[in-house]
Amino acid sequence: MNFLLRMLLPQKGAKDSETEDLSRYRRIWWRTVILTLLVTLVPLFVMLGVNYYLFQRALRSDIRHRISQDVSNISRSLEVVLEERVAALRFLSRQEVLSEFGPQQLADAFENLRIAFGDFIDLGLIGLEGRQLLYSGPYNLQGDDYQEEDWFHEALLRGIYVSDVFLGHREFPHFVVVVRHGDFLLRATVDMELLNRQVFISGTGPLDDVFLVNNKGVLQTKSRFHGSILKECNLPVPAYSPKDEIVENVSAAGVPYFLGYRHLRKTPFVLMVVRTPARMLTEWSRSSAELITFVLISVVLIGIVVLWSSTTTIKQIRAADLDRAQMFKNIEYTSKMATIGRLAASVAHEINNPLAIINEKAGLLMDLIGSSADYPLKEKFLRNLDSITKSVERCRDVTHRLLGFTRRVKVNWEWIDLPDLATEVLGFLEKEAMHRSIEVQTSFSPGVPSILSNRGRLEEVLLNILHNAFSAVEDGGEILLSVESEAPDRVAVVVEDNGSGIRDEDLGHIFEPFFSTKGNFGTGLGLCISYDLVQKLGGRIDVWSKLGEGTRFTVTLPVDRETPLE
């Protein structure tokens, strides 16, 4: 992120206008990145949230459904089992005359119950005064008085009574089933393992539990996590409900759980099924790991693509804006240079008129003085007039060359001798070389062939390169102009100086329009125009430069325009 921002942030030393411009692109970049990420990531996270919500709802629904099934199945099984025991005692009390029961009849009835059900511990016949009249079982309970027991009064009032689990005289957990018939109570003790066998479900999780409690919250069967048998359960007893109920709660340890319960009909028992969603959540976590990984990878890839595309787009927009601004600037500068060229052509044209008058007057004076035999100081005047005439011709040559550069003339192809052309171009700069003590050396290889090219374009190219060489060297510097054959079909013109050289970072930009290393003294058009002209002539320009040592420009041209350089 920081790397991408540094490409758009203003650098140290930037101008205020450039800083403001770069800040504008940075704001556009931020808006583009944020909006694109919002458009792409928000739907992804919304779908993830919806999926999570739907899963939670489905998980709750599934857990509730399973608990409801377990509560319904277990409670129905318990009610059936208990009703079978009650029905057996009722059947026994109605088939036999209890007042005529003796010890043997009671023992036979108890044996039949044990054979039929297997979980009866003993059987007793109790009178309405609470005393046990007959007893059949492993304990000596004949004559025991139960008048003070709660279950005795409950059985007298209801006629049928199923107790909760208690220890009693036997000192082990059990419960009793009592049936009243006439003036007698038939009481059977049932092993509590009957309840343990019924309170069971398969596929329970490590934190799941199934048990029975009574109305006071005392555990009636074994529990894995919520207390010992006949101890108070650490979960609150839910309010009475005639149907299955399911509640959600959090344990003291902070573990969420679902509690399904039901009050068994005509019994003091409350069936409780406790189930934690941890196991199912763990399974879902494993199955959803791939989905989460996919989402994370998608987020990273989307972020990378958004950052890359936004940065690339903003850079392209900025480059296009810079190119457009540079184009308008170039057009303005080109228009200015064209205006200067037209002004220079006008000035040259105006200079030619007085030069013609000066030349005519000088010629007239030469004729007058030459025809006079006795004119004093005749030779001195003639020499001065000859100097004036030569100066006029030199000025005329300069203005004609200037006009030749400014006019749009038809390109004429002709055979050109490059050494002669190079010597002619050097004539433009000989005065500057003399005033600045610059040594200009020429080296023309013998046998250099003439080339088919355009004289005006070659003059402009050589003049631009030589002018740059003069600008690069200090007073007293050296410049070498050489012409040599590179191959039978190509000729090279080399301009080498011992000037300041060009920096490596600038070397790749010297042929770009309006790029100049001369500060305010250069237009930045000379080498750009020269590069274009040489290409149009079928040649190429190569440059070598080293800072502090000098620069060498090599212009390679084809001999025949029909065979341009590869």
CB 179 within 8 A of CB 159: yes
Instruction: Name the band, by pLDDT with cuts 50, 70 and 90, for residue 16.
Output: low
pLDDT number for residue 177: 94
- Selected residue with higher pLDDT from 346 and 471: 471
The CATH T-level fold of domain 311-408 is Helix Hairpins (1.10.287)
Over 90: is that where the pLDDT of 167 sits?
no
User: Which fold, 96-195?
Assistant: Beta-Lactamase (3.30.450)
The per-residue pLDDT for range 86-101, each reduced to its tens digit, is 999 988 887 666 777 7
DSSP-derived 3-state class of residue 512: coil
Is residue 229 over pLDDT 80? Answer: yes
- The candidate with the shortest Cα–Cα distance to 498, out of 468, 476, 473, is 473
- The predicted model scores a pTM of 0.50
Higher pLDDT, 134 or 63: 134
425, two tokens: 């171009």
Which of 139, 142, 145, 194 is closest to 165 using CA atoms?
194
Q: Could you tell me which residue, 70 or 377, shows the higher pLDDT?
A: 70
Range 355-372 average pLDDT: 79
Name every residue whose Cβ is closer than 8 Å to that of residue 205 and which is 6 or more positions away in sequence: 275, 276, 278, 279, 280
When pLDDT is cut at 50, 70 and 90, the band that residue 554 belongs to is very high
Q: How far is the C-alpha of 222 from the C-alpha of 397, rounded, in Å? A: 125
- The pLDDT value recorded for residue 375 is 72
pLDDT at residue 321, rounded to an integer: 85
**What letter represents residue 278's amino acid?**
A
CA distance 454 to 472: 28
Count CB atoms within 10 A of the CB of residue 225.
Answer: 17
Contacts with 12 (C-beta within 8 Å, 6 or more apart), sequence order? none
pLDDT at 531: 83
- pLDDT reading at 12 higher than 60: no
Kindly state the tokens that stand for 323.
Answer: 């190119």
- Domain ranges, ordered by start, for the chain: 96-195, 311-408, 411-558
Question: What value does the mean pLDDT take over residues 338-358?
Answer: 74
Give the DSSP H or E segment for 292. helix 278-371
Q: Specify the pLDDT at position 122.
A: 92
> Which stretch of 262-271, 372-381, 403-412, 480-489 has the lowest confidence by average pLDDT?
403-412
Residue 300 structure tokens: 């990273």
- What integer is the mean pLDDT of 102-127? 89
Please spell the DSSP secondary structure of 37-80, one letter per residue.
HHHHHHHHHHHHHHHHHHHHHHHHHHHHHHHHHHHHHHHHHHHH
Q: 411-558 sits in which CATH class?
A: alpha beta
Q: What percent of the chain has pLDDT over 70?
A: 84
| Percent of the chain with pLDDT strictly greater than 90 | 16
Question: What letter does residue 448 receive in the DSSP assignment?
Answer: P
**What span, in angstroms and rounded, lies between the C-alpha atoms of 527 and 516?**
9
Q: pLDDT at position 9, please?
A: 47
Measured CA to CA, the distance from residue 259 to residue 239 in angstroms comes to: 12
CA distance 414 to 412: 6
Predicted pLDDT of residue 409: 47
Which whole number is the average pLDDT over 252-269?
87
For the record, the structure tokens of 229 come out as 């048998």
What tokens were used for 308? 């890359």
What number is the average pLDDT over the span 399-422? 72
Average pLDDT score over residue span 24-48: 88
The per-residue pLDDT for 162 is 93
Q: Which structure tokens are listed for 163? A: 């107790």
Q: Report CA Rg, the chain.
A: 59
pLDDT score at 193: 87
Helices (H), 96-124: 103-117
Interval 415-469: pLDDT, tens: 889 898 888 888 878 888 888 888 999 999 888 898 888 887 888 888 888 888 8
pLDDT-based confidence at residue 19 (cuts at 50, 70, 90): low
* Two structure tokens written together for 417: 């001798």
Q: How confident is the model at residue 13 (pLDDT cuts 50, 70, 90)?
A: very low
Q: What is the pLDDT of residue 255?
A: 80
**If you average pLDDT over every residue of the chain, what do you get?**
82
C-alpha 243, offset from chain centre: 54
pLDDT of residue 366: 79
Q: Sign (positive/negative) of CA torsion 271, 277, 282, 286?
A: positive
Question: CB of 152 within 8 A of CB of 146?
Answer: yes
Q: What is the pLDDT of residues 198-228, one digit of tens each?
A: 887 766 667 788 999 998 899 999 888 888 8
Asked which of 306-320, 395-409, 445-459 is least confident by mean pLDDT, the reply is: 395-409
Extract the tokens encoding 462. Answer: 């050589």
Instruction: Give all strands (DSSP E) within 358-488, no chain letters.
Output: 414-416, 439-444, 451-453, 478-487
pLDDT in tens, 37-66: 898 888 888 888 888 788 878 888 888 888
* Residue with the larger pLDDT of the pair 525 and 92: 92
Q: Pick from 174, 201, 199: which is nearest to 119 by CA?
A: 174
* 478-487 and 439-444 strand pairing: parallel
